[in-house]
């Protein structure tokens, strides 16, 4: 007889996991802290649009809802960069016209909940988990004014960065854990649709206003609006949340630093005043599981900052890896959870690092001409040596390469690109046969140095 | 009117802090989880003897109990190393016959509690803090079968590695925190007094049986016994707690690896069976304080492993630094706590690192002839250049040099010692005038590279 499964959290990962486990024949119960978002109004201002990339689509396909989501997903084929002088630049993401897809977190979550219920899962809303005994799997919830006790059999914590199951783990003996916050916070702002209902900025791009130590970004929504997010230092005398005290401060700051954006944002001052300033946490923990009793998944295991658009994609990949291990080990959950931890822990840590690195790239490096040149070179190398060279961004967003492998490729790839970019008169000689031979050797050397790493399954189209 | 102070924890640091604050005129109340150790029997097996060094004595002097503790403190002037072949070596700690002092944690703690009460503090025992609201300073305690609520004014968490105040901080926004455990645990064992009541090993030394990946140590007690601690991997096929399953395993292992110790340990098997296997945690957190409301101190702010004998000394130094800031800023607690954090956070982190580094030194390097040679050279340099060269061990144990400064000196000192030890025929030429000039230059260069660091006040005798 198969075990019953309790999942904490009906967010994206908890709901997807419920779909997968229900389809495998497990009796699944989810406990969710919040009310049912399908009937309640969602608080605005803390969503950050999702960017679904290959890992996410793969999981949605497995859950059988890829087709349902495609109509509400807007492809973004590259970055549109808005410079301080009003000029713009464009960086295509992939060499084969790949895209990442802007999707409403709320719509996707609602859909996943419904599919989970259709697959047989039960969701209890308004149940806030206040305590987990990680040795006995006894759960305590606050529900309305009552305390509710639940005895879990197999337990998953899919309850996010501030997971109750993670808190239980942290107090157990010999559990390593860390949490740290960026010095930057974020605030959501809005660019509404144009009067004719169209988009006020190019629709199929992720817009960035890189300003070295801070940035504004904008992702398209299906209704013609853009959700903007300002990533900004909390503290500091000039450019910081602490420094912008009045409406006048905000207005002056935006006019000076984002003049082309500010004219598209009629509700800037209200949004800035009313939307919360939220912080950005990265967490790590080890172990990820306790025997055959429980495991952490998604943000509960590896909360990351949003700059690579990989939080949800990584959490979904946790689920698909778990599914693969169920196929392999049947219902031997001690083995499944052990192998899950062994496969995913290093990748959870790696994607956390990648996300922080991409913050620096997005807010600072993308505005640098040398960096733009490097991006063009990456694309060129990818086209010339498609079997041997895939850029880091492509590995993360358009492949199933384990994040940990991606991290291991960075240094070798940096060395290769630096080598090429240091060649004098590169543009002039790039097309010569002699340089072509040289390049072939260099790329081959790079490829040799990384080729034995685990690149995972090829990405499906 | 001065504020009232609530301290969580009547351990060594909480009690000392109560003495200091009471003497400053504050009304101090301590809540302690355990029963009063002055009337209850203390559980054996988890103490690790304390080694009081200069920072600790300084604080005890301020508390006015240095004279009361001296009679129960046994000086240890160096390390006595017990090699696997039965041979022994001795490393003196200081060049001026300085010692660290073995003191019973229980006796010291009892004395400090009594002095705190005499100074006016109130201690409530059997009060386990279950929740701290860090925004309001509302405390919840479990006392017998009742829940007790307390409203604190100025609050200190001196409640150790698993501090309730620290837990409150960790759930607050933008608090960075980490905890990690060594792969090694420890177990206490005993060498009883000789039949004539004397010591079975040299009394005035810290005894170490270094065995590369693990070690046994022994510290003298006033009754003629030694408290031994085995630091040993939890897991592993051969030398680990997991591998020693039966009495026969333990007996065989000790006979093979600690033959000279085993004959001094008649209760080895009982001790091994009955004493708990405990883990070794290191923690970090930031911030250490919240406005003028609360602060963490001692292990609650920086739990460290015991290998430098600095845990209590560092916690006591937190208290003396705080006292200095009270002298400087009066009752402006926002300023006091801000400056306390600014001065101590970096040192708490540094002593945590030093403690882990010393584990490697104690269990592995001390058995290495090259390392022993280096120790002799350190002593020589200290005698030849007393103003310019003080060894790392001496800085930590026999001075008030901030731990963070010690960390900064390590690299420069390593470079100097390596330089000297790499000189061919060092022993032959060491006394020559030419080499003397060379050495003077090298030491001067070392001293120049570190002399602008903050070395703190000179140590009192």
Q: What is the pLDDT of residue A363?
A: 86
> For the complex shown, is ipTM > 0.85?
yes
- CB-closest option in A162, A176, A180 to B179: A176
Within 8 A of B171 by CB-CB distance, chain A residues are 162
Interchain contact, B179 vs A175, CB within 8 Å = yes
Distance in angstroms (rounded) separating the CA atoms of residues A369 and A37: 45
Q: Check CB contact under 8 Å for A177 and B176.
A: no
Half-sphere exposure of A51 (CA within 13 A, CB side): 26
User: Would you list which residues of chain A are within 8 Å, Cβ to Cβ, of chain B?
Assistant: 162, 170-171, 173-181, 234, 279
Chain B residues near residue A170 by CB distance under 8 angstroms: 179
| Adjacency order of strands within the sheet including A122-124 | A122-124, A27-31, A4-8, A154-157, A294-296, A289-290
Give CA angle at A46 (A32, A301), nearest 5°.
Answer: 55
Query: Rounded to the nearest 5°, which phi and psi values hold at A328?
Result: -80, -45
Mutation test of the interface with chain A: which of B46, B142, B173, choosing the one with the most A Cβ atoms within 10 A?
B173
Q: State whether residue A90 is helix, strand or coil.
A: strand
CATH fold label, A4-42+105-179+280-361: FAD/NAD(P)-binding domain (3.50.50)
CA distance B64 to B70: 12
> For B110-135, how does the pLDDT look when each residue is reduced to its tens digit (9 = 90+)?
999 999 999 999 999 999 999 999 99
Chain B residues near residue A181 by CB distance under 8 angstroms: 173-176
The maximal CA–CA distance of chain A, rounded, in angstroms, is 77
| pLDDT of res. B45 | 46
* A384 DSSP assignment: H
Q: Which residue of A has its CA nearest to B234?
A: A174
- Select from A84, A95, A23, A35 the least CA-distant residue to A59: A23
Helices (H), B126-258: 164-171, 247-257
- Residue of B15, B53, B22 lying closest to B37 (CA atoms): B15
Question: Scanning every residue of chain B, which has its alpha carbon at the shortest distance from the alpha carbon of A282?
Answer: B176
Per-residue confidence (pLDDT) for residue B457, from 0 to 100: 82
* Of A171, A175, A178, Cβ closest to residue B177: A178
pLDDT by residue, tens only, chain B of 461 residues: 578 999 999 999 999 999 999 999 999 999 999 999 998 665 554 456 799 999 999 999 998 999 999 999 999 999 999 999 889 989 999 988 999 999 999 999 999 999 999 999 999 999 999 999 999 999 999 999 999 999 999 999 999 999 999 999 999 999 999 999 999 999 999 999 999 999 999 999 999 999 999 999 999 999 999 999 999 999 999 899 999 999 999 999 999 999 999 999 999 999 999 999 999 999 999 999 999 999 999 999 999 999 999 999 999 999 999 999 999 999 999 999 999 999 999 999 999 999 999 998 888 888 788 888 899 999 999 999 999 999 999 999 999 999 999 999 999 999 999 999 999 999 899 989 999 999 999 999 999 999 999 998 875 44
Looking at the complex, report in whole angstroms how far the Cα of residue B131 sits from the nearest Cα belonging to chain A. 12
Half-sphere exposure for B38 (CA within 13 Å, toward CB): 13
What is the pLDDT of chain B when averaged over all its residues?
94
Burial A270-291 (b: 16+ CB within 10 A, else e): ebbeebebeebbbbbbbbbbbe
Nearest to A178 among B162, B178, B234 (CB): B178
Distance between B185 CA and the closest CA of chain A, angstroms: 10
Helix and strand tally (H, E) in chain A?
Answer: 16, 19
Which single residue is written with the structure tokens 């299906």? Answer: A222
In whole angstroms, give the CA distance from residue A437 to residue B74: 75
Burial readout A374-396 (b: 16 or more C-beta within 10 A, e: otherwise): bbebbbebbeebeebbbbbbbbb
A162 to chain B: which residues are within 8 Å by CB? 171
Tell me the C-alpha distance between A115 and B110, whole Å. Answer: 63
- Gap between the Cα atoms of A267 and A264, Å rounded: 9
CB-nearest partner of B177 from A174, A175, A179: A179
The alpha carbon of residue A180 is apart from the nearest alpha carbon of chain B, in Å, by 4
Are residues B178 and A173, on separate chains, in Cβ contact within 8 Å?
Answer: no
Q: Each residue of B74-103: pLDDT tens digit?
A: 999 999 999 998 899 899 999 889 999 999
Give the chain B residue whose CA is nearest to the CA of A284. B178
Alpha helices by DSSP H, A181-267 = 247-257, 259-262
User: Testing the interface with B: which of A178, A184, A240, A284 to mutate, by most B Cβ within 10 A?
Assistant: A178
Nearest 5°: phi and psi at B353?
-70, -45
pLDDT value at residue B259: 94
Nearest-CA distance from B125 to chain A in Å?
23
Put simply, the answer to whether A234 touches B279 (Cβ < 8 Å) is no
Alpha-carbon distance of B151 to B137, in angstroms, equals 6
Residues belonging to chain B with any Cβ–Cβ distance to chain A shorter than 8 Å? 162, 170-171, 173-181, 234, 279
Q: Helix B311-329 and helix B12-23: axis angle, to 10°?
A: 20
B391-440: per-residue pLDDT in tens?
A: 999 999 999 999 999 999 999 999 999 999 999 999 899 989 999 999 99
Chain-chain contact of B162 with A171 (C-beta, under 8 angstroms): yes
Q: Are A383 and A95 in contact (CB under 8 A)?
A: yes
Hey, what are A212's tokens?
């070295």
Of the candidates B183, B30, B180, the one whose C-alpha atom is nearest the C-alpha of residue B109 is B30
Q: Which of B170, B175, B180 sits opposite A176 (nearest CB)?
A: B180
Measured between its terminal Cα atoms, the distance across chain A in Å is 38
Cβ–Cβ of B279/A180 closer than 8 Å?
no
Instruction: Write the residue in B171, B176, B279 that is nearest to A173 by C-beta.
Output: B279
Interface test with A, best of B129, B131, B178 (most A CBs within 10 A): B178
**Helix H segments across B296-402?**
299-302, 311-329, 333-363, 369-384, 392-398
Whether a cis peptide bond, with omega within 30° of 0, leads into B415 is no
- Nearest-by-CA chain A residue for B278: A173
Query: DSSP secondary structure string, A11-70?
Result: SHHHHHHHHHHHHTT-EEEEE-SS--TTTSPPPSSS---EEE-HHHHHHHHHTT-HHHHG
In eight-state DSSP terms, residue B18 is: H
Tell me which residue in B173, B177, B279 faces A279 most closely, judged by beta carbons: B173
Do B175 and A171 make contact, defined as CB atoms within 8 angstroms? no
CA distance B313 to B52: 7
Q: How many CA atoms lie within 13 A of A365 on its CB side?
A: 13
Query: Rounded to the nearest 5 degrees, what angle is found at the Cα of B319, between the Cα atoms of B313 and B322?
Result: 140
Give the SS3 label for residue B315: helix
pLDDT digit string, tens, across residues A222-263: 999 999 999 999 999 989 999 999 999 999 999 999 999 999
Strand A74-76 and strand A100-103: the pairing is antiparallel
CA distance B458 to B461: 9
Verify whether the Cβ–Cβ distance B181 to A174 is below 8 Å. yes
Task: Give the DSSP per-residue string, B87-102.
Answer: -EEEEES-TT---EEE
List the domain boundaries for chain B.
4-42+105-179+280-361, 368-450
């Amino acid at each position: 007889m198969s075990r019953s499964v309790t999942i904490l959290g009906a967010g994206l990962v908890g709901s997807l996991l419920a779909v997968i486990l229900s389809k495998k024949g497990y009796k699944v119960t989810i406990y969710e802290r919040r009310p049912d978002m399908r009937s309640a109004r969602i608080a605005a201002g803390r969503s950050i649009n999702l960017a679904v990339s290959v890992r996410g689509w793969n999981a949605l396909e497995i859950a059988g809802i890829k087709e349902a989501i495609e109509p509400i997903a807007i492809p973004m084929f590259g970055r549109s960069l808005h410079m301080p002088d009003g000029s713009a630049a464009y960086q295509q993401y992939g060499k084969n016209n790949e895209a990442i897809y802007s999707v409403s977190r709320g719509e996707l979550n609602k859909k996943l909940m419904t599919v989970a219920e259709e697959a047989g899962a039960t969701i209890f809303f308004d149940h806030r988990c206040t305590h987990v005994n990680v040795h006995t799997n006894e759960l305590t919830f606050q529900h309305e004014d009552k305390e509710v006790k639940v005895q879990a059999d197999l337990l998953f914590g899919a309850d996010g960065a501030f997971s109750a199951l993670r808190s239980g783990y942290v107090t157990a003996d010999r559990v390593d854990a860390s949490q740290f916050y960026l010095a930057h916070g974020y605030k959501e702002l809005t660019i509404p649709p144009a009067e004719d209902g169209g988009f006020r900025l190019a629709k199929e791009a992720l817009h960035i206003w890189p300003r070295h130590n801070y940035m504004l970004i904008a992702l398209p929504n299906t209704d013609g609006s853009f959700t903007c997010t300002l990533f900004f230092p909390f503290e500091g005398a000039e450019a910081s949340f602490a420094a912008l005290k009045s409406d006048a401060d905000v207005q002056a700051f935006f006019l000076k630093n984002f003049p082309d954006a500010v004219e598209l944002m009629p509700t800037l001052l209200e949004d800035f005043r009313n939307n919360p300033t939220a912080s950005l946490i990265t967490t790590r923990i080890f172990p990820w599981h306790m025997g055959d009793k429980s495991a952490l998944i998604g943000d509960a295991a590896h909360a990351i900052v949003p700059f690579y658009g990989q939080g949800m994609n990584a959490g979904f990949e946790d689920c698909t890896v778990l599914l693969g291990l169920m196929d392999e080990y049947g219902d031997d959950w001690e083995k499944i959870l052990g192998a899950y931890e062994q496969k995913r822990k290093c990748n959870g840590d790696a994607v956390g690092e990648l996300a922080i690195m991409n913050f620096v790239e997005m807010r600072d490096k993308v505005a640098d001409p040398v960096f733009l040149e490097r991006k063009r070179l990456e694309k060129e190398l990818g086209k010339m040596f498609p079997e041997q060279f895939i850029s880091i961004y492509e590995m993360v967003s358009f492949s199933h390469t384990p994040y940990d492998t991606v991290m291991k490729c960075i240094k070798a790839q940096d060395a290769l690109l630096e080598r090429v970019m240091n060649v004098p008169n590169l543009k002039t000689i790039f097309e010569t046969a002699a340089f072509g031979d040289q390049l072939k050797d260099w790329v081959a050397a790079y490829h040799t140095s990384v080729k034995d790493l685990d690149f995972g399954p090829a990405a499906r189209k």
